[in-house]
Amino acid sequence: MVLHRPEEHAGTSMALIGYARVSTEDQETISQLDELKAAGCRVIFEEKASGASRARPELAKAIAHVQRGDILVVARIDRLARSLSHLLEVIERLEVVGGHFKSLRDPIDTSTPQGKFALQVLGAAAELERALIRERTVAGLKAAKARGRVGGNPALKRRDPEAIAQLSAIRDRQYMADLLASMEAWLPKVRALRPTKSWGSVAKSLGRLGSPDQPWTADRLSRAVRRLVAEGLAEPELINPAPRKPPKDDILLVIAGIKGADPNLSLRAIAARLEDLRIRTPRGGTTWSASSVKALLDRADQAGLVPSSPPQERTSSSKAQ
């Protein structure tokens, strides 16, 4: 939630963007907010979520808010991340857009040489930590196998409802974390194509962009975008229905119906009606020209689909002219 948003980037090329977090609903972020405001943060995002979870919508919004030269500020490093790998991942995402990171109570400010050096030290420590974890995991699996123990969750094997619910929640958090980590790669292209193009067309255009393990499908892409919209991280219009492309005979019927309902409509007015109905042109476009309408209207007339005007109407029309 954005707590404080005056005019952004007014008269300056840099903005301080704050992020405050507590772990439970019972805790308050008041002290963090005071520190961030005192430091000059003009925009502050507040969140109540576990530090171990990477599926944090407000953090994603804060990162997305950062522009070139801006600094994401936290009161303490543990308010942003509980692991070095997550911290470095966030900083890397900021660097992609030319942003920086600063912790008020820690010697880390990536906009300064000293802060960058401290970050390099942390990166080396993180790599060592990952290597040690891998070694301990492999050693533990070997020891368990030697004792005849087989991995697995006993509660899940019993189909315990609570264990299944916990596993489902873990998978959902991981799914959201994956979306947050990859959205910057593929969401801009989705924004450029939706809702003009169908989910299938957009998925085909994306290929493996932001999804190196498997190509996008219409269902998977639709689900991902709908989840981001539900979390407030994407625009609701992205999930609007794509304009339908009816068969040519259906287009003739529609055009004939519009003309029959109001014979005095101009070709441009009919084109506007078709666009309002979100009906695509025979070539798949969304903008109708008067010439396209005339060509189809002539075909509809030849097929006897356009009703003839009553004699009185034609007479009165000619008198009016």
**Domain 1-151, CATH among 3.40.50.1390, 3.40.50.300, 3.50.50.60, 2.60.40.60:** 3.40.50.1390
pLDDT at 6: 40
The DSSP symbol for 47 reads E
Is the pLDDT at 103 greater than 50? The verdict is: yes
Which of 45-54, 77-86, 167-176, 268-277 is most confident?
268-277
Question: What is the predicted pLDDT for the residue at 36?
Answer: 95
Check residue 157 and give its pLDDT.
Answer: 64
Residues 231-247 have a mean pLDDT of 81
Q: In what order do the strands lie in the sheet with 71-74?
A: 43-48, 16-22, 71-74, 100-103, 108-109
State how far the Cα of 11 lies from the Cα of 252, in Å rounded to an integer: 56
Active-site option among 13, 23, 198, 222: 23
Confidence of residue 212 (pLDDT cuts 50, 70, 90): confident
Whole-number Å distance between alpha carbons of 309 and 321: 16
User: What pLDDT, on the 0 to 100 scale, is given for residue 37?
Assistant: 94
Is residue 23 annotated as part of the catalytic site, yes or no?
Answer: yes
Q: What is the pLDDT of residue 50?
A: 77
Q: Which residues of 142-156 are buried (b: 16+ CB within 10 A; e: fewer)?
A: eeeeeeeeeeeeeee
Q: What is the pLDDT, as a whole number, of residue 317?
A: 41
pLDDT digits (tens, 9 = 90+) for 169-193: 777 877 887 788 788 889 999 999 9
- In whole angstroms, what is the distance from residue 231 CA to residue 234 CA? 8
Lowest-confidence region among 94-108, 224-238, 304-318: 304-318
Confidence at residue 10, expressed as pLDDT on a 0 to 100 scale: 41
Tens-place pLDDT, residues 31-43: 999 999 999 998 9
